[in-house]
Amino acid sequence: MIQTKNNYAKEVFNGDIGIITATSLIAGLAVMIGYLVHLLGDLFTPPGVPLLFPLKFNARVPLVKTGGILERLVVFPASCVGVVYLTVIKTLFTKLWRY
């Protein structure tokens, strides 16, 4: 039997295309969410964020000074707690619910 490119692809991947596609989608969503959260964080600093870039307008809500006391005592610890929650606790509970 002569193998064409389509048969070869089916034989090599053997259904893994769906897993690769889902992983790529999750990674893309993670990057997009990280980017949007970063922009949101920059929005709360005095320089702001140029949301309408060609225009000379920076959107800002100056609540947190970069390197200031609020950032060191509130923002950084809250970020650490959020990362631990999302990576450790959420993953642990998700795995426990499966069994």
Q: How much is the pLDDT for 60? A: 92
Mean pLDDT in the chain? 79
Domain boundaries, the chain: 1-63, 64-99
- Quick one: tokens of 31? 């990057």
Which DSSP string corresponds to 22-73? HHHHHHHHHHHHHHHHHHHHHHTSTT-B-TTTTSS--B------TTSHHIII
pTM of structure: 0.59
Distance, CA of 37 to CA of 69 (rounded, Å): 21
Q: How much is the pLDDT for 1? A: 47
3-state DSSP assignment of residue 3: coil
